[in-house]
Structure 1
Amino acid sequence: MYFPLTFTFCSVDYFLGILQVGTFTIKGQSIITKVLDAALACGYRFIDTAAVYRNEEEIAIALKELLPKYGLLRSDLFLTSKLAPADHGKDRVRQAVLDSLSRLNTPYLDLYLVHWPGAGRLPSQSPANRNIRIDTWRELEKLQNEGKLRSIGVSNYLESHLKELLSATTVKPAVNQVELHPHFPQKDLVKFCNQEGILVQAYSSLGGHSSHILLADPQVKQVAKVEGKSVSQVLLKWAVQQGIGVIPKSIHPERIKENFCLDFTLSSESMRALSSLKIDQKYAWDPRSVV
């Protein structure tokens, strides 16, 4: 079951998953609290984390303090977490989910994703990955039926992984969260997901946490100048304007607010310019080796 929620902030209607605050690489209680304080203040209500980020407990502690500050309840938030690659398989999934629920101090997660198509304890080329993926998904279906997970999805899945999943299970993934930006637009994957009713969420929208190549691209900077917006804003809006979710992250309150206010429309010329960059570059981990 896919749970659509609509909030209106900065004069923009944000559908489920279109704009989330990311927490990858953000650790430390004071930093997590500062980030979520700034995010909630400007209107974010969707929070993305994962078991491998090792910050679920810190997020829970921050929210216990911040929700009363903003007059919010748990039900006002949309929390996403993810299954670690090491926790693939029917014997591991349930405990992994229960552990995330405990760390986040919540009886349910709004969205839970399989973080990686390969099992952490197997070589990426092992055919056993296929069966383990299916076993993992079937366990998640059970947990969804029990109400512990309201929606389930995947991350870093290629079209081949999705077709395999769709042919062998009964619940369609609500989301596929993948690296996606103008240097790596994944047009065929986006088209397939759209055809199947799977929401695409983009991570590394700004080119990855350790690279500034995309942010420094002259064509991207020119679009930002023409539009009168920051480079980050036009990169995020490029995805949002296509119905693709984004998960911007920052530890700086002013950038958190800037990334949230996407209440503008890129011109068709700007969209074409961003969609036709001649660079094909991936900046994060690559699932193309996983059978």
Structure 2
Amino acid sequence: MTDTTTDGPSVLLNTGTRMPLLGLGTYRLQGAEDTHRAVDAALTAGYRAFDTAAVYRNEADIGQALRVLLPKHGLSRGDVFITSKLSPKDQGCKARDGCVRSLQQLGLDYIDLYLIHWPGTQGLPVGDKQNPGNRSQSWEALEDFHAEGKFRAIGVSNYTTKHMKELLEGCRVTPAVLQVEFHPRLAQRELRVLCEESGVCFQAYSSLGTGVLLSDPIVQEVAGRCGRTPAQVLLRWAVQQHVPVLPKSCQPSRVEENGRLFDFELSDLDMVKLSALDCGEKFCWDPSLVV
């Protein structure tokens, strides 16, 4: 369920809180100066969500940028939605330490959404039978932090249908979000149905197909017809289906451009044309081999 509030379009999570449909992805955003510039541009453009992760190694810079910039923009901590993720190296018995580390790095009393980043464990083969137990142990740690109010919502990233069913069967707290690769060539229909049936918000990353889809002829055709950029068309395709997106860029002009998604609509025909590109193509990591 989506809605437009004073802070922009958002989706209602199963926790009862709202998450913005648009957030700044910060993968590969490195260095205090570039991070500050990107966060400043995002806040100026109306972004109110920021997505980081332990493996991005920028949690501390994100936290510092927000502490400096929120007052500048007349905002407080409660005006932004911050997501971070547990490192695969902390999967299992190290999960609690990983959770504490993210809070410390960000310099926050609480994180709005915390995800298990990957269904596998760093250092173990994808077929190692310890992976399911480690996932379960990690989830229990996230549930504890959720109960303590340190994580307002918890979820997972890169889980397949199999991983999701396993989690849903044994969890005390239903995940609020599943974050996966999603774009016209990877529509993830089975996962989306499972999320809808389970009350889990389906969130997209890599909406541009790591940039490959920007030159797709159909995407360019639709962009020309709309008078928009290919990136805006790809992001709009997702949010028009109520799927939150996390475009990433360190260039202020690109950050602003990617944020202009809510002042136009794609026609039904254009939505159909883009959706017809679905062929199951992945441009990022493939978690399907993780047991």
In the superposition, the TM-score normalised over structure 2's length comes to 0.93
Alignment of 1:1-291 (within 5 A): 7-8=5-6, 13-15=9-11, 16-89=19-92, 91-208=93-210, 212-263=211-262, 264-277=264-277, 279-291=279-291
CA distance in 2, matches of 1:6, 1:82: 27
**Deviation at residue 17 of structure 1 after TM alignment:** 4.3
Number of paired residues? 282
**Is the Cα–Cα contact under 8 Å of residues 20 and 44 in structure 1 kept in the other structure?**
yes
Amino acid at match of 1:63: L
Q: Which moved more, 1:123-132 or 1:23-32?
A: 123-132
**Deviation at residue 279 of structure 1 after TM alignment:** 4.4
**Deviation at residue 278 of structure 1 after TM alignment:** 5.8
**Deviation at residue 213 of structure 1 after TM alignment:** 2.4
**Deviation at residue 270 of structure 1 after TM alignment:** 0.4
**Is the Cα–Cα contact under 8 Å of residues 17 and 201 in structure 1 kept in the other structure?**
no
Distance 1:247 1:278, change over 3 A: closer
SS of residue matched to 1:110: strand
SS of residue matched to 2:84: strand
CA distance in 2, matches of 1:108, 1:98: 10
Distance 1:38 1:191, change over 3 A: same
Q: Deviations over 1:194-233 (max 9, x none)?
A: 111111111110011xxx3211000110011112211001
CA distance in 1, matches of 2:127, 2:74: 49
Structure 1 consecutive aligned stretches of length 4 or more whose deviation exceeds 4 Å: none
Percent identity over paired residues? 48
Amino acid at match of 2:9: D
Q: Which runs of 5+ in 2 are unaligned?
A: 12-18
**Is the Cα–Cα contact under 8 Å of residues 9 and 21 in structure 2 kept in the other structure?**
no
**Is the Cα–Cα contact under 8 Å of residues 82 and 112 in structure 1 kept in the other structure?**
yes
Amino acid at match of 2:213: L
**CA RMSD after TM alignment:** 1.5
Distance 1:214 1:63, change over 3 A: same
CA distance in 1, matches of 2:158, 2:282: 12
In the superposition, the TM-score normalised over structure 1's length comes to 0.93
Q: Deviations over 1:44-77 (max 9, x none)?
A: 1100000000001111221121111011111111
Q: Which runs of 5+ in 1 are unaligned?
A: none
Q: Deviations over 1:115-145 (max 9, x none)?
A: 0001113111112111111111111111110
CA distance in 2, matches of 1:55, 1:46: 15
**Deviation at residue 8 of structure 1 after TM alignment:** 3.5
CA distance in 1, matches of 2:232, 2:256: 11
